[in-house]
Structure 1
Amino acid sequence: MKAALLPLALVLGSVAAAPQTPPVAATAFRWTGTPTQGGLIAGTAPAGSIAVTLDGQPLTLAAGQFVAGFDRDAGPAARLEATLADGRRIVQPLAVAPRAWRIERLNTLPRFPVPDPVMAQRRPGELAQIAAARAQATDATGWRQRFVWPATGRISGLFGAQRIYRGEPGAYHSGTDIALPTGAPVVAPADGVVVLAATAPFTLEGNLLMIDHGMGLNSAFLHLSRIDVRPGDHVRQGQPIGAVGMTGRATGPHLHWSLRWRDARLDPLLVAGAMPER
């Protein structure tokens, strides 16, 4: 279902006696991408904007450009608002398209129903490292690029899919899995800065690599057999960064690629497009 753009941007401000500044056009916000659950848009703010918000949260502007993402469970409506230098505000309502997720209902218990003692002890520290990596703001400009797939192969796990075990919902799949043999190369999907390279395997993610692409957009690559870059390295789109593996909690060799914009989990298929033919 394609997102519907609500037809009118509203210009707000005090009514003054003549002469008045000409009204700002309804199309003053421009963007590519579709406002949809798991989607990302890259936009240009109205000329003269000094601040832009999404649902009241400030967005970073770079020469008038911004990015904004919509979580897998985003609600049906969002709101962009720009503040101009003269004090006027432009409000652009957005209709966020819902998606039908793959839901599997099982009459069994999860494969890993409860944390083991080792995981219970280690997990808080691992999550703290991941949160600290995501909080880093770098000078990366990969957000400007069209993303490419970090590996080419059969998609074995879809973003957003969820299993329900005997009526109890499990966590949904927060990335896309690509089935490949151990040692298959992994490349950077866009320019960025390495913010985490965990070669002491995490309990779930195994060898975990995270790259910041700027503007709050970051990638994570899980279960790697090898990591070829270090924290602080600037990487270029297409540069080798590691190799596929099955470290951590994995039942077979594959690459799990997840994307986030701030706290919003994004669908790699919507950001990178269809998987290319091998």
Structure 2
Amino acid sequence: MIRLPAILLLCLGLLVARLAVANEPPPGLAWQGDFVQGGMVVGVAQPGVSLKLGERSVPVAPDGRFVFGFGRDEAAILPLGISYGDGRDFVVTLNVAPRQYDIQRIEGLPPAQVTPPPALLERIRRENAAIAAVRQRNTPRTDFLQGWIWPAKGRISGVYGSQRILNGEPRQPHFGIDIAAPAGSPVVASTDGEVALAEPDLYYTGGTIILDHGMGVTAVYSHLQTIAVKVGQRVRQGEVIGTVGSTGRSTGPHLDWRVNWFDVRLDPQRLLPKQQ
């Protein structure tokens, strides 16, 4: 067994700790963002660099721009592989800060409110597959760099990461922010993008729009009463794309707004200005 000198071990330990706490980019990269569960990081790399976050390749634009994000339950330590194109390969250890989420337990619900009827399962699978396909889009635009505005005005009635346990069965966590507002209130594009999906009646989310913001970043607008855009249409930040509704599996008028990096669910509220 090879034993390293104590002073070398100490130096290595201090270096790893420094990188883990500060998440400093190595030479040839620059980044800024939220190194926390649900956070997004944007950056730029020198030409020829390729990146891999855990097991997923990170697209890098020709000008070196890139983006990646962390899921709700992301591991505390995540490796970022960096290949410089000249034979140099490195792994940077990223430290992802954990969060605590609101967990609610509700018992005594009728079974139909917990599990969809079997006759609807095929429809749900088909709709989920269509949404999953949109989330895999990797277009070269970088609309996400523009910044984000609130997509609707109203009271925050649901937050990212919360979860319900119904009749003892854990349900899928909530991956967006709910904004309660009167039915018919305007919903606007939070940043520039292209309409990748516009469906008036999905089982879970009712009237639904997905905007593609480039490089795997998409945003979902759900439970809409009306839809004012079509697939393939380019929209600008602040442009009205629909209205608040209570369609799909909804108990009242609100907008459920979500942001994804491919299939990684990000916390949209962390992208927004603090005030509506």
8 Å contact kept, 1:152–1:275: no
AA of the residue aligned to 2:114? P
CA separation in 2, counterparts of 1:52 and 1:7?
21
Residue 74 of structure 2 aligns to a residue whose secondary structure is coil
Instruction: Between 31-40 and 54-63, report the one with greater CA deviation.
Output: 54-63
RMSD, aligned α-carbons:
2.0
Instruction: Find the counterpart in structure 2 of residue 230 from structure 1.
Output: 230
Say yes or no: does 1:164 pair with 2:165. yes
8 Å contact kept, 2:137–2:215: no
Instruction: Find the counterpart in structure 2 of residue 239 from structure 1.
Output: 239
Instruction: Find the counterpart in structure 1 of residue 132 from structure 2.
Output: 131
Unaligned runs of 5+ in 1: 10-24
CA separation in 2, counterparts of 1:227 and 1:180?
16
CA separation in 1, counterparts of 2:198 and 2:263?
20
Residue 189 of structure 1 aligns to a residue whose secondary structure is coil
Residue 123 of structure 1 aligns to a residue whose secondary structure is helix
TM-score of the aligned structures, taking structure 1 as reference length: 0.85
Instruction: Find the counterpart in structure 2 of residue 60 from structure 1.
Output: 59
8 Å contact kept, 1:6–1:93: no
AA of the residue aligned to 1:116? P
Q: How does 1:40-79 map to 2 (within 5 A)?
A: 40-45=40-45, 47-62=46-61, 63-79=63-79
Structure 1 residue 268, shift from structure 2 partner: 0.8
Q: How does 1:1-278 map to 2 (within 5 A)?
A: 6-8=17-19, 26=26, 28-45=28-45, 47-62=46-61, 63-109=63-109, 112-199=113-200, 201-276=201-276
Structure 1 residue 124, shift from structure 2 partner: 1.7
Structure 1 residue 8, shift from structure 2 partner: 4.1
CA separation in 1, counterparts of 2:208 and 2:235?
16
Number of residue equivalences:
255
Structure 1 residue 28, shift from structure 2 partner: 4.4
CA separation in 1, counterparts of 2:173 and 2:144?
25
CA separation in 1, counterparts of 2:133 and 2:168?
35
- When residues 159 and 275 of structure 1 are mapped into structure 2, their CA distance, relative to the original with a 3 A threshold, is farther
Cα deviation digits, residues 24-60 of structure 1 (max 9, x gap)? x845432111211111111122x34431111142211
Cα deviation digits, residues 123-174 of structure 1 (max 9, x gap)? 1221122122223333432121211111121100111101123443222112
CA separation in 2, counterparts of 1:6 and 1:60?
27
User: Which has the larger share of helix?
Assistant: 2
Instruction: Between 55-64 and 251-260, report the one with greater CA deviation.
Output: 55-64
AA of the residue aligned to 1:153? G
8 Å contact kept, 2:246–2:253: yes
Instruction: Find the counterpart in structure 1 of residue 8 from structure 2.
Output: none
AA of the residue aligned to 2:18? P
8 Å contact kept, 1:210–1:219: yes
AA of the residue aligned to 1:174? F
- When residues 8 and 139 of structure 1 are mapped into structure 2, their CA distance, relative to the original with a 3 A threshold, is closer
Structure 1 residue 89, shift from structure 2 partner: 2.1
AA of the residue aligned to 1:146? G
Instruction: Between 113-122 and 168-177, report the one with greater CA deviation.
Output: 113-122
8 Å contact kept, 1:209–1:220: yes
Unaligned runs of 5+ in 2: 1-15
Residue 159 of structure 1 aligns to a residue whose secondary structure is coil
- When residues 52 and 6 of structure 1 are mapped into structure 2, their CA distance, relative to the original with a 3 A threshold, is farther
